[in-house]
Amino acid sequence: MRTLAGVALFALTALPAAGADLPRSNPEAQGVSSPALRAFIEAADKDIDALHSFMLVRHGHVVAEGWWGPYAAETPHMLFSLSKSFTSTAVGLAAAEGKLSADDPVLKFFPNEAPADPSTNLKAMRLSDLLRMSTGHQTEPLRKASESWAKTFLAQSVPFKPGTHFLYNTSATYMLSAAVQQATGQTVLDYLKPRLFDPLGIAKPTWELSPQGISTGGYGLSVRTEDIAKFGQLYLQKGKWNGKQLVPEAWVETATARQTSNGSNPKSDWDQGYGYQFWRCRNGAYRGDGAFGQYCIVLPEQDAVIAITSGVKDMQAVLNLVWDKLLPAMKSGALAADEDAAKKLASTLKGLALRTPEGKASAPKVASKKFVFPSNDGKLESVVLENGKDGAVTLVARVGGTDRRIECGAGSWVKGRTAWGRLPEQPCAAAGAWTADDTFTAKICFTETPFITTVRLKFTGSEVRYETEANVGFGPTKEAALVGKSE
């Protein structure tokens, strides 16, 4: 089990947390069992590697919330494809304002990007086909930095009649974002700010842009865990928030209904049908989700919303745990107060943290020695380990002519900033230990993303073997080992 030490925020009182719009409540008052909630958290902590945050909203009240340190409540998290559900919402709002229609042909918005002689299927493609991931493509159009993404999309062959063939297609969501920008004169981020983000109290959302200055649509949005929960609660309430209809109820119902079939496996939450950028789930639920385990799960039958961020390889395992542990925890009426169970739940939530490297071995005498590497694709030039207080070790890596200093706590996460591999400079937290007599292992957690990099340095005489591996990724996660020599 992960070490129960670190930073986590929880609230189980009847009053709203400072600066938050969602009220808090004791689980039992909202018909949720504290022991069952604790069983879910402990199972997730033990068996899922690894959740970063969890929030359960029942009857409009947050009844449990926790963050696995070094992740924290105030920190935004990359949503990846959960962004798609927000883009869908922008389309619904633009349609309600008469800026566009789901029945509009896609070519209507891109007269300067269209091929000279569009195919019959391309001319027939509508925004609704983009929304339901049924564009008629056999393969997803590429998105290259050197080319117009819209032009590349429209140049792609469309062998199937739009609306008849499901293909999960992030480029299709980008085209929805681009269509909204064409219709409104604003990026999806700017368009949603006064219409969605501000009313929900979602502060400082960020969204990546394409080379053409268009919100990427299918990914790229970053918000906090509670912001995900608010978005789900808005949809649970059929688009209404604080007495105001922010999103048309008809759009909510259409977007979250089964618009197309995408499989037949009764045990898979990816085979239950697809709406307008929302997945249908088992147990009468629907969700937005993103790569490596970013979830906004709406359960209308239970009047509940679940928000989860994570960095997992097996996304189905997380949903299985929700159905196995959380679904039975929600009862139709209020439960008797259980102060002892509530205290145990609160203690568990407060103490959550990701695993740090553990070590009992004695360190070799390599402190402050510089190990130099031959030329390599990662531009790693040298590494040095510097001993600090209380067992902390600072890893100094010189990459592309720049020293990157990463302080690694001993049994705890130390916050900082760094760039690593393909990741630009950003907030991080690191921990490290001598995991063998000759091996120092560091974990670098990029706290606004799902990504955690593990670095292993194995020392043998005057040499060091350098290995690095990411917890998750869209391609290979392990890089070729490098061997450096001491100066």
Shared domain check, 321 and 259:
yes
Query: pLDDT value at position 36?
Result: 97
Q: What is the DSSP string of 220-285?
A: -EEE-HHHHHHHHHHHHTTTEETTEESS-HHHHHHHHS--B-----TT-TTSS-B-SS-EE-STT-
The CATH number linked to 319 is 3.40.710.10
The sheet with strand 51-58 has its strands ordered as 61-67, 51-58, 304-310, 294-299, 286-290, 279-280
| More confident call, 241 vs 10 | 241
pLDDT at 136 over 50: yes
Residues 124 and 222 in one domain: yes
Q: How many other CB atoms are there within 10 angstroms of residue 355's CB atom?
A: 15
Asked, for residue 67, whether it belongs to a domain, the answer is no
Task: Return d(Cα 288, Cα 437) in angstroms, integer.
Answer: 46
Q: Measured between alpha carbons, how far is 18 from 60 in angstroms, rounded to an integer?
A: 17
pLDDT digit string (tens) for 253-266? Answer: 999 999 999 999 99
How many C-beta atoms lie closer than 10 Å to residue 200's C-beta?
23
* Res. 125: pLDDT tops 50: yes
Tens-place pLDDT, residues 351-388: 999 999 999 888 888 989 999 999 999 999 999 999 99
Q: What is the pLDDT of residue 470?
A: 96
C-alpha 68/C-alpha 41 separation (Å) is 11
Task: Please report which residue ranges of 19-99 form alpha helices under DSSP H.
Answer: 34-47, 83-96
Q: Is the dihedral of CA 290, 228, 191, 130 positive or negative?
A: positive
What is the tens place of the pLDDT at every residue in 105-121?
999 999 999 999 999 99
* Same domain (yes/no): 286, 219: yes
Q: What percent of the chain has pLDDT over 70?
A: 96
349 belongs to a structural domain: no
Segment 152-167 shows an average pLDDT of 97
User: Does residue 143 sit within a domain?
Assistant: yes
Q: What is the CATH classification number for the domain harbouring 425?
A: 2.40.128.20
Query: Do residues 243 and 375 share a domain?
Result: no
The stretch 20-48 carries a mean pLDDT of 95
Question: What is the enclosing helix (H) or strand (E) of 184?
Answer: helix 170-184
Residue % of the chain over a pLDDT of 90:
92
Mean local confidence (pLDDT), 426-453: 97
Assess whether pLDDT exceeds 90 at residue 13. Answer: no
- Residue 6: is its pLDDT beyond 50? no
Predicted TM-score (pTM) of the model is 0.94
306 plus 390 within the same structural domain:
no
For residue 2, name the pLDDT band (cuts at 50, 70, 90).
very low
In a domain, 69, yes or no: no
pLDDT of residue 364: 87
| pLDDT exceeds cutoff 60 at 19 | no
Give the pLDDT confidence score for residue 340 in this predicted structure.
Answer: 95
For residue 474, give both structure tokens: 């869209």
Q: Is 99 exposed, middle or buried (0-12, 13-18, 19+ CB in 10 A)?
A: middle
Instruction: Print the domain residue range for 476.
Output: 370-486
Q: How many CB atoms lie within 10 A of CB 340?
A: 10
Cis ω before 70 (30° cut-off from 0) = yes
Same domain, 216 and 312: yes
The DSSP-derived string for 310-364 is: E--S-HHHHHHHIIIIIGGGB-SS-----HHHHHHHHHHHHT-B-------SPPP
- What is the tens place of the pLDDT at every residue in 60-93? 999 999 999 999 999 999 999 999 999 999 999 9
pLDDT the model gives residue 22: 97
- Residue 9 clears pLDDT 60, i.e. is over it: no
Q: What is the pLDDT of residues 289-322, one digit of tens each?
A: 999 999 999 999 999 999 999 999 999 999 999 9
Shared domain check, 295 and 156: yes
User: Is 130's pLDDT higher than 50?
Assistant: yes
Helix, strand and coil percent figures for the chain, each rounded to 5: 30, 30, 45
Q: Please check whether residues 319 and 397 belong to one and the same domain.
A: no
16 falls within a domain = no
Cα angle, residue 206 at apex, residues 202 and 211 outer, rounded to 5°: 155
- Model confidence at 208: pLDDT above 90: yes
Q: Please, what is the average pLDDT of the chain?
A: 94
Q: In terms of domains, do 317 and 416 share one?
A: no
Q: Which pLDDT band holds residue 7 (cuts at 50, 70, 90)?
A: very low
For the chain, the domain total comes to: 2
- Of residues 283 and 363, the one with the higher pLDDT is 283
Tell me, yes or no, whether 463 lies in a domain: yes
- DSSP SS3 for 33: coil
pLDDT band at 452 (very low <50, low <70, confident <90, very high): very high
**Is residue 285 one of the residues assigned to a domain?**
yes
Residues 6+ apart with CB under 8 A from 6: 68, 69, 70, 351, 352, 353, 354, 412, 413
Residue 410 has phi, psi (to 5 degrees) of -95, 105
pLDDT confidence bin for 421, thresholds 50/70/90: confident
Quick one: pLDDT at residue 166?
A: 97
The predicted pLDDT at position 362 comes to 80
| In a domain? residue 200 | yes
pLDDT score, position 361 = 80
